[in-house]
Structure 1
């Protein structure tokens, strides 16, 4: 069973069409139709496409961040419709080293489906090895998805305001410091948060660092109250994935993240450096 990462070679050699399911999660925050178009052009054989905005997030309101969690009934129905059942090995991939695919990985883990892994290096690692692609659209066979107990937990804005949580922000350092903000209307970060850009989990080749390197990278931030955030609760999942792959227990996700925090102008904002 794969529950964190899988390599392109392992996927090629071990794929079992009856018991494995591949999900293409490519998505571009600045061009929301691009991911699905790329999928239609070519994808890993047998893959099914999932859209971050439409399927892996819920309805955005005046009080939520950009990617709130979908309703439990909606996400379980989705997973049933694409054939996810107990003991099914799920592989998720994107074209940005897991930045988007990690959200699908986290959602499944949060719902108690532990047999899910991110393709290390994504479709780029697959194509670099000259493995086959297809434009054939795969029709899923429905199954019955069942939610189970999980160690993956969420934290709300109200809890952040009233509790004691060590926030770890996955955004790039420039966004964290408030020097640039290409997406959200307010720049900066939540006071006392520390910055761990998710890209630091990766090698120059876009693969995850070794478990030993990830352990050394993350061990200073392992606390009972460690809580991950980013712009909207997506790339924060990459940091949780990295910690889990390094052997640490799952830590919390602040789903609303920065884009929800700034919905209320009374909440404090910092532009000072606190880079890990």
Structure 2
């Protein structure tokens, strides 16, 4: 498969089911019921799909210094992709039930580690089911692929780098969480509420149309350019609660033809590990 587009449509995926160069990954997950996605996968999924658990597969070991979903080590990700049968020629298609909120994490990880043939199913599982497309309960056996990965370390911003950037008007920081979490009015997950000083808020769900498909590229481009102002996309840093839904913005920016911003993978849950780091509450950056 030669496609390296960011999105694939349901009708396109339907036509290539069973192609040995296509690897489908179900990323359904619920932060509050962490086994829900796996249970749903066992009940029904797109034929041939493997399952990726956010905590177990798409994250590394959490420590007192990291956020809730640190990136896995390269060796662990290689083992995972190998078990899915991924080769350098594979087209990896990720989907979930949240308009790509979790699938975008896998898409970004693949691109970060140099596997360009990765895309997200536009509209995800919900659109697939609405259109009454094929489903299966059969769980594919582990395979043995030959992934080739080289991380693009300049795509990441560390906590130390984030702290040094605060107040630098050459950078734009975007918080992808819901407005209530950004302002600190609500914080259902992390022990401290608020946001990183200077960050602008754009909820990742704003990238989607009412049917959970992505907005047209031109619309996304206009919205992000208005948000960024004179800041270039490569001087944009995106974060969220734990470095997951922030990837949704990076996917949207790529769809819009704006290239790839930088990910603060530790995000809010790592920032607040040190009580001496500044935080802000309210609706202002």
Normalising by structure 1, what TM-score? 0.96
Secondary structure in 1 matching 2:31: coil
Structure 2 residue aligned with 1:272:
282
Larger mean Cα displacement after TM superposition, 151-160 or 123-132: 151-160
Structure 2 residue aligned with 1:41:
43
For 1:76 and 1:94, the matched residues in 2 are separated by 22
For 1:5 and 1:274, the matched residues in 2 are separated by 33
Cα deviation 1:70-96 (Å, max 9, x = unaligned)? 011111121112111101001000011
1:86 aligns with 2:92: no
For 1:152 and 1:45, the matched residues in 2 are separated by 36
Cα deviation 1:32-60 (Å, max 9, x = unaligned)? 00000000000000000010000100011
Structure 2 residue aligned with 1:99:
101
Structure 1 residue aligned with 2:122:
120
Larger mean Cα displacement after TM superposition, 198-207 or 215-224: 215-224
Tell me, which stretches of 5 or more residues in structure 2 are unaligned? none
Alignment counterpart, residue 258 of structure 1, candidates 239, 248, 268: 268
For 2:40 and 2:5, the matched residues in 1 are separated by 26
1:214 aligns with 2:220: yes
Structure 1 residue aligned with 2:12:
10
For 2:17 and 2:260, the matched residues in 1 are separated by 27
Tell me, which stretches of 5 or more residues in structure 1 are unaligned? none
Confirm or deny: 8 A CA contact 1:231 1:258 kept in the other structure. yes
Aligned structure 1 segments of 4 or more residues deviating by more than 3 angstroms: 148-152
Secondary structure in 2 matching 1:90: strand
What is the root-mean-square deviation of aligned Cα atoms in Å?
1.4
What is the aligned residue count? 275
For 2:43 and 2:92, the matched residues in 1 are separated by 22
Secondary structure in 1 matching 2:251: helix
For 2:137 and 2:62, the matched residues in 1 are separated by 32
Structure 2 residue aligned with 1:63:
65
Secondary structure in 1 matching 2:20: coil
Larger mean Cα displacement after TM superposition, 145-154 or 80-89: 145-154
Report 1:225-240 matches (<5 A): 225-240=235-250
For 1:209 and 1:102, the matched residues in 2 are separated by 15
Structure 2 residue aligned with 1:246:
256
Task: Please state how far the C-alpha of 1:212 moved relative to its aligned partner.
Answer: 0.9
Task: Please state how far the C-alpha of 1:148 moved relative to its aligned partner.
Answer: 3.7
Alignment counterpart, residue 195 of structure 2, candidates 170, 189, 214: 189
Sort the Cα spacing of 1:126 and 1:182 in 2 relative to 1 into closer, same or farther, 3 A.
same
Report 1:128-167 matches (<5 A): 128-148=130-150, 150=152, 153-163=155-165, 164=168, 165-167=171-173
1:200 aligns with 2:206: yes
Larger mean Cα displacement after TM superposition, 212-221 or 174-183: 212-221
